[in-house]
Amino acid sequence: MDTWYERLSMLDSLFLDLEERTAHMHVGGVAIFEGPPPPYRDFLNLVEARLEQVPRYRQRVMFVPLKQGRPVWVDETQFDLEYHLRHTALPAPGGEAELKKLAGRLFSQALDRDKPLWEMWLVEGLGDGRFAIISKTHHAMIDGVSGVDLATILMDSEPASSPPPAPSSWTPRKSPPVSQLLVKSVKEQITHPLRMVREALEPNSEAVKLFGQLFSGLKPLLEVVSMGRAPESPLNVPIGPHRRFEMVQFSLSEVKEVRGAPPSADLRALVPVSVRTEDQRGTFGNQVSAVFCPLPVTESNPVQRLRKVREAMKGLKENGHAIGAHSLSRLGDFAPPTLVAQAARLQAVTRMFNLVVTNVPGPQFPLFLLGKRMQWCFPLVPLAAQQSVGIALLSYDGRIGVGLIGDADAARDLGAFAGALRGALDELKGAAPRQDLDAAHPS
């Protein structure tokens, strides 16, 4: 059998380099469903039947010896679905408090790098006759909007009326010998930049396009560098491996209605931005960049706060910050892997942001899992070193689920923060006449 493998992109590999004992780089979430849970065996059968649509979920990371190249994806020859798909129940009384505690414990545990980098839990015992699915997948596998994660392909737009079909047979492909992987990785490091130079001499080549994107985005990139470190904040302290998780519920309509001791300094948020084009949807690998948005928390007027945030985000998008950063990340494909790994670790020292805020647009129609309707989904964004709180939003079927992740010690008041989000929206709704809010967020 011919040897087969696929090398991680620079960005995918970067998420592995960013991971530390206290900073796990998995994404995921908590989804709540109506009705009693399906039998565990039915859930296993459904996942097994649809795994062929997401082959990455039966692959593991294989590292290059001596770090002489980015890791590669290889098929897991000892794949065990029941290891990844787990089954548990909440203790009485089985309310959302117990669900959040369970999610916090599961999100505190790093994924085993010797196995495919994902886990999913079927959770019984949730009050009001409901059940939940808790999932986590390493960021190296998905970027949140790629359209090829396991949770997406498990859902149906209509209640299922028949059991899933029998799964197709699957035979893992042979992994490369370690020596061959090392030799090929070193050879790629030498030939890849040379190929880039040759292409740069050809009009309309990919290299020319890449350099053009980079130079067009150079000015906004320099502006980002010139911002310096993010302001000092209680949000930025050393963190441990343990997590708290909170869930906040909003209706999409009320958020659309407003669109969106006193602190001594404004904050800066890292906002992930998808750069995946329409023809790239359904492909693997991360296609995500980011912008740095100021958060004017010192502004007492809620309408002015909203206006400043909107104007800042509008300017960042128009100035091409995200595209410039994405082009720079692509150039990282030509940098030595050890240099990229060291650059990843510098982020804790040269902290450019105080927290991460991400918004994932979901479908505005109901989804079903084995005939059971999903009510809510609360996403998870990972915490980086020196970052104690992260905020992730997902809009779905007229609702917005907000997942708050916090360090178990540094963010003991995460529940109060969740309540403050609700209060901030209510404050904004009642702070000004309709025309003032329209002026803060013109159509």
Alpha-carbon distance of 391 to 356, in angstroms, equals 6
Higher pLDDT, 292 or 49: 49
User: Quick one: which of 198, 200, 220 has its CA closest to 212?
Assistant: 200
| Higher pLDDT among residues 381 and 277, named by residue | 381
**Tokens 């509008």 sit on residue:** 314
pLDDT in the model for residue 47: 95
Tokens of 57: 């979920």
Highest mean pLDDT out of 97-101, 190-194, 248-252, 357-361: 97-101
Query: CA–CA distance from 292 to each of 25, 82, 237, 259, 273 (Å)?
Result: 20, 40, 19, 19, 10
pLDDT surpassing 90 at residue 287: no
The pLDDT value recorded for residue 443 is: 45
pLDDT band for position 241 (cuts 50, 70, 90): very high
pLDDT score for 113: 96
Q: Binning pLDDT at 50, 70 and 90, where does residue 182 land?
A: confident
Query: Confidence class of residue 80 from pLDDT cuts 50, 70 and 90?
Result: very high
Q: Identify the weakest region by mean pLDDT among 172-186, 210-224, 309-323.
A: 210-224
pLDDT in tens, 140-158: 988 544 545 788 889 999 9
Query: When comparing pLDDT for 292 and 322, which is higher?
Result: 292
Residues with Cβ < 8 Å from 286, sequence gap 6 or more?
A: 9, 11, 12, 15, 139, 140, 142, 143, 146
Tell me: the pLDDT tens digits for 311-369?
Answer: 888 877 666 555 444 544 555 555 555 555 555 555 555 578 899 999 888 899 999 99
Work out the pLDDT band at 395, boundaries 50, 70, 90.
very high
Model pLDDT for residues 365-381, shown as the tens digit of each residue: 999 999 999 999 999 99
Question: pLDDT digits over 4-45, tens only?
Answer: 788 888 888 888 988 999 999 999 999 999 999 999 999 999
Length of the chain: 443
Among 273, 254, 245, which residue's Cα sits nearest to residue 398?
A: 254
Instruction: Give the domain extent around 387.
Output: 1-443
pLDDT at residue 147, rounded to an integer: 45
Residue 261 structure tokens: 């001791």
Q: Is residue 431 pLDDT above 80, yes or no?
A: no
Structural domain count of the chain: 1
pLDDT at 237: 93
Q: What percent of the chain has pLDDT over 70?
A: 73
167 upstream amide cis, omega within 30 of 0: no
DSSP states along 79-103: --HHHHEEEEEPPTT--HHHHHHHH
409 or 160, higher pLDDT: 409
Average pLDDT, the chain: 81
Tokens for 272, please give them: 């992930």
Residue 280 scores a pLDDT above 80: no
pLDDT in tens, 91-124: 999 999 999 999 999 999 999 999 999 999 999 9
**How many other CB atoms sit within 10 Å of the CB of residue 117?**
26
Burial of 435 (0-12, 13-18, 19+ CB in 10 A): exposed
Tell me the pLDDT band of 393, cut-offs 50, 70 and 90: very high
Instruction: Identify each DSSP E strand in 302-398 by its residue range.
Output: 355-361, 368-369, 372-380, 389-396
Residue 3 scores a pLDDT above 70: no
What is the pairing mode between strands 118-126 and 85-89?
A: parallel
- Select the more confidently predicted residue: 394 or 256: 394
Q: Select the more confidently predicted residue: 187 or 19.
A: 19
DSSP line for 156-225: BSS---SPPPPPPP--PPPPPPHHHHHHHHHHHHHHHHHHHHHHHTSTT-HHHHHHHHHHHTHHHHHHHH
Four-residue CA torsion sign, 218, 224, 227, 228: negative
CA gap 119, 142 in Å, rounded = 14
CATH number at residue 24: 3.30.559.10
What does DSSP assign to residue 10? H
Grouping H, G, I as helix, E, B as strand and the rest as coil, residue 329 is helix
Greater model confidence, 333 or 230: 230
C-alpha R_g of the chain: 23
β-sheet bridge partners, residue 379: 29
Contact at 8 Å (CB) between 331 and 324?
no
